[in-house]
A = this chain, B = another copy of it.
């Protein structure tokens, strides 16, 4: 069940927020913030490439590990650009009303 993800994402989010403004020498997250949204977006893209590759290979353990890296960098990018997790939750909730092929059609149009 995905509800195991909620609490750990919440803790990760709070940790990420606490690193904003911290000394880049002491924290990888603080270092990312210091390098700016372009660099964070680049890291997100790189982790996505790795997740894509493990998905194509069909390796669940490595896909889980790459997914964790992907989610971490995604949350850092949210924090750096002013996206709140609630905003993404609202986007996902908005799509719940529409489903299947209809949802896809709405997305394509």
Contacts and interface: CB of A to CB of B under 8 A. Distances in A.
Q: State the majority secondary structure of interface residues on A.
A: helix
Copies in the complex: 4
A72 to B, nearest CB: 7
Given A15-B99, A42-B49, A78 B63 contact: yes
A83 B108 CA distance: 28
Given A41-B53, A89-B5, A91-B65, A104 B28 contact: yes
A74 interface: yes
Interface of A: 1-15, 19, 25-31, 37-38, 40-42, 44-46, 48-53, 55-61, 63-65, 67-72, 74-75, 77-78, 80-83, 85-93, 95-96, 99-101, 103-104, 107
